[in-house]
Every structure is written in structure tokens, then in C-alpha cells.
Chain A
Amino acid sequence: MSAILEQLSAVVIEGDETKSPGLVQKALDEGFTAKEILDNALVVGMTEVGIRFKRGDMFVPEVLMSAEAMQTGLGILRPLLAASGAEMLGKIVMGTVKGDLHDIGKNLVGMLCEGSGFDVIDLGFNVAPEKFIEAVKQHKPNIIGMSALLTTTMRSMGHTIKALEEAGLRAGVKIMVGGAPVDREFADRVGADGYGSNAPAGADLAKQLMGAA
């Protein structure tokens, strides 16, 4: 990997949002494409952040600052990515489930999915099953992403999936779930199509669900 991309991924890990736009510009000037910079620097940095967070070596503030550093870099790349004419991978409707107002993780997954080429529709937090249903009818997404931070609220994922089944909408979408208390076993039990153990894994999963990874 080139020095500039390595530097940029290090800046994401450090969470220095003042440096990332300059480095993104420099990488563009050196001839890297927006997609290369995204995949080989910003996402690489964020993936490392995800691993360190899960291990307990990084904490929420640092993750937030890393996300901000990625966001400011992505701000420069976004118009270039759009102009490159690459087809959208698909559409994702996502939200933090009913009763839960923690949206840091969900926002991160949203940003990474957007970076991966998805059209992301964010329903926000405390999203009731009816709101997911309404959004599926309105936006016809390929994927629904649900997030929860608490064990008290994660069961709402199961309620939402059931409500989608009852509304006859389940078969038409893939469902991915994530959040600190969510694991594979839980995802299987509630009938989700996949589970992401951290934000970058969530974005990878979205690509897999679209058969694009």
C-alpha cells in the first residue's frame, strides 16, 4: 500500500478530522481514484477501529472521532464517487429499533454502507415496527438494517421481522442486524439474514447480501 494511503488510514484510526481532507486531496493529486482511496485507506482505517473497539482497546469517544475523520474525508470523495457513474449497489433502510435511542453504531454502519455504494435511508432511532413497514412500502429497499445497544430493546428486532412477515413484506427484503448485545445466535433466532459484529462487518455483510462481495 502506498505511503499516502497508509497515512490516511492512520489518521482515521487517530481520529484527526482536521487532517483527513488534506490527505484525501493529496491522494487524489497522486492519481488514486476516489474508490481506491475509500477502500484502501478510509475503510481500512475504520475496519481497524472496529476491531480495536470490539477488543476494548478503543472507546466510544475515539470511535466517534475516527468516524468524523472518515466523514470529512468522505465529504471530498462523495461527489467524485457519484460522478464516476458506478451503479448503486442497492438501497438500505436502516434504523435503531423501538425503545432504543442509541444511534452511534447505526450511523457508522450507514456511513460505511453509503461509502460502499449503497443508497441509505436512515429512519433514525426508536423506530417502531410500523415505521419500518411503512418505509419498506415507500422505498422498496433491498436490505433493512436494524440496530440496538440494549438487551431490553434488541427483542424489538424479532417483533419487527414478525410484523414484516405479517405484512407480507419479509420475502422481498434481506434483513441485517447488529449492535453490542447482538450475536449470530440471536440473529438466527429472530430470523435475520445476517449479523454484523461491528460497523465495517455490517457494511461487508450488506455487500454480501447483495451478492457483491
Chain B
Amino acid sequence: MASPQKLPVVILACEIMKSMLPDLLPDGLVDQLTYFDYGLHRVPNKLTWTLQEAIDSIETPSLIVLGYGLCGNGLNGIRARQHTLLIPRVDDCIAILLGSHKKYMQEFEAVPGTYYLSKGWLESGSHPLKEYHEYVEKYGEKDAAWVMDQQYRHYDRLALVAHTPADIDKYRAQAEAVARYCEQWGMRYEEILGSDVYVRRMIEVIAALEKADDDFVIVPPGGEIRQEQFIR
């Protein structure tokens, strides 16, 4: 088997990562990036099939980096085939945005009912206000308001996460508009300074797989992603 480091690199990522990856990746790797719809996590089976199909379509044995976490168990069961898979060992993108699994767990313990917003979620993803507008168009105002209430009534906090103070400033107005809408459920608004350290470390690991520690999952050729690999 060729040393994994010599393998060509392919990155398959959720479009939420658009806000981080292109700025941090070395030029040669930016060209190897393919994004997928952020909404796939809501239908974990679909996320599995979509990524499996993308992996299966790559013929040359490669190092395939998945810009995902376990994502609602959507990555469980994905087969590496002839490739080597590298995945951040996180439940979802929030840990990546915050910089570590530990930080995510701290926030989670503090306020479980938190809806996280980020540059990626505001620009490429969704948020309650956008969702509401989409529902109004599809189901009418009354049903939309009822559905939103069913989905968000137990949440306590809306948190904007960015890895620089400048980005927090830049996205504050948008986040505050969402926050005003979410006040109906008593959600308070907070800003959290995250970190790009997880992505930076991932880039180091791509260059030298032996640098992978227990913050990363590596699946060798013939292997399969398993849920328990992510459970800490």
C-alpha cells in the first residue's frame, strides 16, 4: 500500500465550512474541495448516501477528508472503499467552530438549548428567521408560526460564534435580527469568540497523518465509519 501521505487529497465538506476552509487551506487543496448542501444533516440517511456516492465516484486511491462531524449519525456506516478517510472527531460543526470538543461540551452543559449561528450558517445555511420566511411561503403565515413555535419553544439562547472579533462585529446586525425574532420564545442573545484552531490542526494532519491525535478519526482502506469512533 502506498503511504497515505503520498495519496492525492480530496475534501468533501458541508457548505457550512465554506466560511472557514477556503481562507485556511493551502492553494493546492482549495481546488480539491467539493461542498454539499447544509440541509443534509436533517435527513441523516441522505447524508450517508450522498457522501458514499461521492466517495465511490473517486477512482484513484485518495486521502478523502470529510469536512463533517458525526452529524446526527449521518456519517455512520460510510465505507472507505480503496481510500483513506480523515474526519474531525466531533459531533457536529459547532465543535469545529468553537475550536474543540471540550469547549462545545462546556457550552452544552451551560445552556443545552442553544441555537448556534455562524458566518457559515448565516451565509450558506439557515436560521430560525430564514426558516420562518420559507415556511410562510410554503404553508402560509398561521401554520408557519405554529410550526416554528413547535420547533423552537424550548430553546433558551441564540449564540453567534465567530473566530475573530472582526467577524463578530461584521455579523452582529444579521444575528441580532434573528435574535429579535427569537425573543418570542424568551431566547437571549450572546456572542461567543470561537477559534479556527481545529481547522488549522486538520490541515496539519492532512499534510502528515501521523500527527492525528484523538481529535481525528482515520479510517483505512476497506474500513467503515462507526458511530462509536466519535463517542468520547
Chain A interface residues (CB < 8 Å from chain B): 54-56, 59-61, 64-65, 99-104, 125-126, 149-153, 155, 180-183, 185-186, 189
Contact = CB atoms under 8 A, between A and B. Distances in A.
A126 B144 CA distance: 25
B91 interface: yes
B155 interface: yes
Interface in B63-102: 70-73, 76, 91-92
Given A151-B70, A152-B108, A180-B73, A64 B45 contact: no
Contacts of A189: 228
Contacts, number: 73
B45 A55 contact: yes
Contact of B113 (A59, A64, A101, A186): A101
| Residue of A151, A153, A189 with most chain B CB atoms under a 10 A cut-off | A151
A61 B155 contact: no
B43 A60 contact: no
What 10 A-B pairs come out closest when comparing CB atoms? Answer: A181-B73, A56-B43, A101-B154, A61-B147, A99-B112, A151-B91, A56-B46, A152-B91, A101-B113, A151-B70
Given A64-B151, A101-B112, 11 more contacts: A55-B45, A60-B147, A64-B147, A99-B109, A104-B151, A152-B91, A152-B108, A180-B72, A181-B44, A181-B227, A183-B73
Contact of B227 (A61, A101, A103, A185): A185
A189 B105 CA distance: 22
Contact of A126 (B73, B112, B147): B112
Interface of B: 42-46, 70-73, 76, 91-92, 104-105, 108-109, 112-113, 135, 138-139, 143-144, 146-147, 150-151, 154-155, 227-228, 230-231
B180 to A, nearest CB: 21
A59 B139 CA distance: 12
A185 B229 CA distance: 13
A100 B147 contact: no
B44 A100 contact: no
A183 B72 CA distance: 11
B158 to A, nearest CB: 14
A102 B114 CA distance: 12
Nearest to B138: A61
A115 B204 CA distance: 55
Given A61-B143, A99-B108, A104-B150, A183 B76 contact: yes
B147 to A, nearest CB: 4
Nearest to B104: A152
A94 B71 CA distance: 25
A151 B92 contact: yes
B135 A151 contact: no
Nearest to B101: A152
Nearest to A56: B43
Given A126-B112, A180-B73, A155 B231 contact: yes
A151 B230 contact: yes
B147 A65 contact: yes
